Each structure stands twice: as structure tokens, then as C-alpha cells.
Amino acid sequence: MKRRWLFIALLAGLFCPPNLSYGQDDLSAWRIKAIQGDAVAQALMGSIYHLGRGVPQDNKEAVKWFRLAADQGNAVAQYSLGFAYYSGKGVSQNYTEALKWFRLAAEQGETDAQASLGVIYYAGNGVQPDYVQAYAWSNLAAMRGHKKAEELRSKCLMGMTPSQIIEGRRLSQKYAEKFLN
């Protein structure tokens, strides 16, 4: 239960899209772009519905737009879709799907998704708890300045054996070479 609380608390700090406030003309223009298949516009529409900015807040509608953008490879939408699956907002809660979407976004360099993978592995939601993976992903996000990931990295270290620390650092270096541009 304590780990689940930690995960929710960390994610609450991770998922903070910018304060969106658009007029109806702006919304119409973005909606048209989204309908035409623009992945950035689709991700933005997902955020607008998730936050209820200029439209009624609707997580199911948000998930629809996030999925369209995520399927096109938009990392922010993949992260947001992972968050929806983890929290059960707009879709049934499904840790396996959350992990899938977080990983896709993390592998594109999405820092919040990397931090979220660290939390998932630390908490063991949908996977066995794995401090080596938790350390590697949170360290990767921490190297990019993610403050919550820095905190999680420290918590991981407190629970790791010396050999796990060595493995975590090795894995983190591998991820950094692969996923940091």
C-alpha cells in the first residue's frame, strides 16, 4: 500500500501539462488539425479534454485523442496514455498497458515516462519490484533534471545491495547511451 501511495504521489507531480486556456476559435483550429491526423494537435486535444480547458473535462475523450497521437509515435501522448492506464482515468486500470506506453515514450527520451518507469519498477505495479530497473530509469530521468526521479533514485539506493548498485549503474549507462540525444 505504501508503494502504491508513493507511485500515485510521484505521478501526480509528473503529469502537469501547461495551463491551457484557448478561445473557441483556437479550439476549433486545433480540433480540425487533430481530425486531419496531426499528432501534436491530437495530443493537445487529449490534454485539453483531460484538463477541461474550454471543454467539459472528459477522460474518455482525452484517451481517444491520446491514443490517436500515441499510435503515431507521439511520446507525450504515449506517456499520457500510460498515465491514463495506470490511474484508470478514461480507461480501465491496466498496469501492463501503462508499462507498455511508458516504455515507448521513455525510449524516445520522454523524461516523465522514464521517471514513471522507475516508479513502476520500484512499486512493483504490473511487474515484480526491481530496484535495479527502478534505479536505472529514475537515474536516467534524474540526469535530465527530473527532481522526483532524483528522490526515487536515492530511495532505490537505500534498498539495493552493492552488486545491485553496480548493475543499476551499468544499466543506467546503457540506457543513457541509447535514449539520451
Instruction: Quote the Cα angle for 101-107-109, to 5°.
Output: 110
- Rounded distance between C-alpha atoms, residue 58 and residue 49, angstroms: 5
Residue 87 is placed in which grid cell?
A: 490511474
For the whole model, what pTM was predicted?
Answer: 0.83
Check residue 10 and give its pLDDT: 39
- 142-164 residue pLDDT tens: 999 999 999 999 999 999 999 99
Please give the domain boundaries of the chain with CATH numbers for all domains: 2-179 (1.25.40.10)
